[in-house]
Chains A and B, each alone.
Chain A
Amino acid sequence: MSVTPGKNVDEMKYESGGANGYRMYLMLCGGTGCVSAGSYEIKNALEHELEKYNLSNEVSVVMTGCNGFCANGPIMVVQPDGIFYQFLSVKDVPHLVEEHMLKGRPVEKLMFTPPDEKSVVPKMSDIGFFKKQRLLALRNRGLIDPEKIEEYIARDGYKALAKVLTEMKPEEVIQEMIASGLRGRGGGGFPTGVKWKTCREAPGEPKYVVCNADEGDPGAYMDRSIIEGDPHSVLEGMAIAAYAVGSSNGYVYIRHEYPLALERLEKAIADAREYGLLGKNIFDQGFDFDINIHCGAGAFVCGESTALMASMEGRPGEPRAKYIHTVEHGLWDKPTNLNNVETYANVPLIVQRGVKWFTSIGTGDVSENPWGGSKGTKVFSLVGKVRNTGLVEVPMGITLREIIFDIGGGIPNGKKFKAVQTGGPSGGVIPEDLLDLPVDFDQLTRVGSMMGSGGMIVMDEDDCMVDIARYFIDFLVGESCGKCLPGREGLTQISRMLNDICDGQAQEGVLELLEETCNTVTSCSLCALGGSAPNPVLSTLRYFRDEYEAHVREKRCPAGLCKNLITYSIDPDKCNGCMLCARECPQNAIDGEKKKPHKINTDLCIKCGICKDVCNRDAVIVK
């Protein structure tokens, strides 16, 4: 196994956010083995020494994925020289920096020659799927037993809570959160620290801290995975939030359809109570905080903050107008701080590693204005027509192309990429020419989509954009609570129009009416569910208007998907009369003799597509 300088230089540029002219890179292993052997302490020591010699602008310390030599960790590779150091410890650092980085003499006693590779198994950090990921919220994924609190503590768990309780005033914690630029991971992107500040300053007692784990987007499971894999990171984040806003009551609102997450969360809360990490007088610092679970019945609208609180109070899950803020009048009309699972999971790490570190990841500048950028990472569930489906955590600012093609491995079965839908059912669809868009809160909003909670559905050339819009709108019609007119009737009308278009029943002028209705629903709905519901329609209209026009004017579905607009036929030149389709057809709609071209009887055909699937000669034509 050797280090290819070219590739690592790419990694370095990526990590350091551009070509900023360092003459030397210290690639310190940030894999689990090396981290538990102390690589972060070494990183701090290195940076300290480099600063001492004024080398900070010339030499950059970069944390990398696992080198695979965990037994010899912590490992560090110096580039461009390609020199390997092993078994590093903090006390080696001053000598190493002085000799190698300052005087240019590699320290032989720390050097290591990597053994020849025995098997040809690739390194984790060479696999596309893992290479570009950066694990913050998912820092313990696959590494700890989520049912053992000790394993969380062993990975520095609850140290951030200890730190805030002993070293920081609540106002300082809030200031830290504002400075970090952490924005709500549930989709809104509201700066977490600003929310905490407003809640702290709001009059009224008691105050509540609520965790929104009502993840209802089809195809999204970020929150479930965090709770299943690392529940204590969420509990610790909530406890820190509670200390900051001045609350001693916490709730997790989690949907009933997540049995495993629920089970692990219950166990985590019980264990934390037993250890005194929840309850009275935590760490003997005079801070009380406990958490209870509230099970949601699985209504999508209950992910909306005011509907969620209504549901917790035992009322129907219906939102209310937004001008009354939940931070001031929330649960039982008391000041309530509500954040998403992933937001809370980020909090302990920011407290521990500091603002400077957190703001080094992501886009924009948040030093003056917490809305000035998107810092940290975002977890996406990457699903749909993509080779590697799964849960990915990437730094903000990564492009959609990198996520879909480098991490996701591209589109399967040789098909062509068509669009990607981000932000859940009320997010928007983004076309191919925007693939190089850097992913952050503001860029996604700019192109008519949104970050949302982080669902990412990839579509290929076989997907019909009108049908996609119809699917999401029909979902939202079903999930709309019916309280406001635009949400109830507006969405129903939009659904009718889309169904007419897909069925070939729509008249000229429907697209203009559709747009007008969408804009009305966007501006007049009571809550964000209604307000963002037309996004799938508006964004597909914006980027794929020709597909809508083909449906309306030519009664044709370009993707060959809308059943009323397509017919199946057999190309007589390609068909060799193998009888396969005729045998498989459930309607017996295919006639033909052996070794002679077959014909489809369109009166009987139900357009199920089985003939196309079974044909070996690609002779079935869909038009």
Chain B
Amino acid sequence: MPKLRIEDLDKIVNEQKKITSLRDGAGRVKITVHMGTCGISAGARKIMTEVMHCIEESGASDIIVTTSGCAGFCSREPMITVEVIEQAPVKYVDLDKKKVKEIFDEHIMKGNVVKDYALAIGSEQTS
């Protein structure tokens, strides 16, 4: 990796937007598994395995899976955020493998939010 110059920062910003922003067309759905210490101890690794398993089973190729840190609401871990293109992100809490499968089939494949497991839509105010 070459050393960065200041103007390279903006290039990375734009490249990243292409990779992570659904609006710019890299994928249809982004799933974020929250993997801080709290999430992992509540079973986030199993959730991640199940997400990968669901994707493999469905054969879908337009789903981005990524990890992130603690979302703050530690008592409701494991938690994932599902972002379908053109829609607001939805946070799901208190997950287990069965719920992940259901969310995958209903929300990610069919577009219906599974409201029984959803905490909220949208995101927090940052800075």
Cα–Cα, bound, A33→B69 (Å): 18
Given A121-B113, A153-B16, also A283-B6 (CB < 8 A): yes
Beta-carbon nearest neighbor of B23 in chain A? A71
Q: Among residues 17 to 59 in chain B, which have CB atoms less than 8 Å away from a CB atom of chain A?
A: 17, 20-21, 23, 32, 34, 36-38, 40
B86 touches A71 (CB 8 A): yes
Q: Are B5 and A142 in contact (CB under 8 A)?
A: no
Q: How many residues of B contact A (CB 8 A)?
A: 53
Partner of B88, one of A33, A120, A135, A154: A33
Nearest B residue to A62, CB-CB:
B125
Task: Check: B70 CB closer than 8 A to any chain A CB.
Answer: yes
Q: Are A125 and B127 in contact (CB under 8 A)?
A: no
**Inter-chain contacts of B121 with A (CB < 8 A):** 68, 121-124
Number of interface residues of A (CB under 8 A): 74
Give complex CA distance A133, B74 in Å.
15
Q: Which residue of A lies closest to B89 (CB)?
A: A70
Contact (Cβ within 8 A) B37 A124: no
Bound-complex Cα distance A284 to B123 (A): 37
Question: Using an 8 Å CB-CB cutoff, how does the interface string of B60-83 with A read, 1 for contact, 0 for none?
Answer: 000000111111111110000100
Task: Give per-residue flags for A216-228: 1 if the beta carbon is below 8 A from chain B beta carbons, else 0.
Answer: 0000010011001
A274 at the interface (CB under 8 A from B): yes
Q: In the bound complex, what is the Cα–Cα distance between A353 and B88 (angstroms)? A: 27
Question: Is A126 located at the chain interface by the 8 A CB criterion?
Answer: yes
Q: Among the interface residues B20, B23, B120, which one has the most CB atoms of the partner chain A within 10 A? A: B120
Most chain B beta-carbon contacts within 10 A, residue among A36, A119, A124, A135:
A124
Interface check A26, CB cutoff 8 A: no
Closest to A361 in B: B127
Which residues between 98 and 127 of chain B lie within 8 Å of chain A, taking CB atoms?
A: 112-113, 115, 118-127
Find chain A residues with CB under 8 A from B73 CB. Answer: 129-130, 388, 390
Chain A CB within 8 A of B90 CB? yes
Asked whether, in the complex, the Cβ of B124 is within 8 Å of the Cβ of A133, the reply is: yes
Interface residues of B (CB under 8 A from A): 1-6, 9, 12-13, 15-17, 20-21, 23, 32, 34, 36-38, 40, 66-76, 81, 85-91, 112-113, 115, 118-127
**Could you pull out 22 A-B pairs where Cβ atoms are within 8 angstroms?**
A33-B123, A63-B125, A65-B123, A65-B125, A66-B122, A68-B122, A119-B113, A121-B120, A122-B121, A129-B73, A130-B73, A135-B124, A139-B126, A141-B69, A141-B71, A141-B72, A143-B32, A145-B67, A154-B13, A162-B6, A275-B3, A391-B74
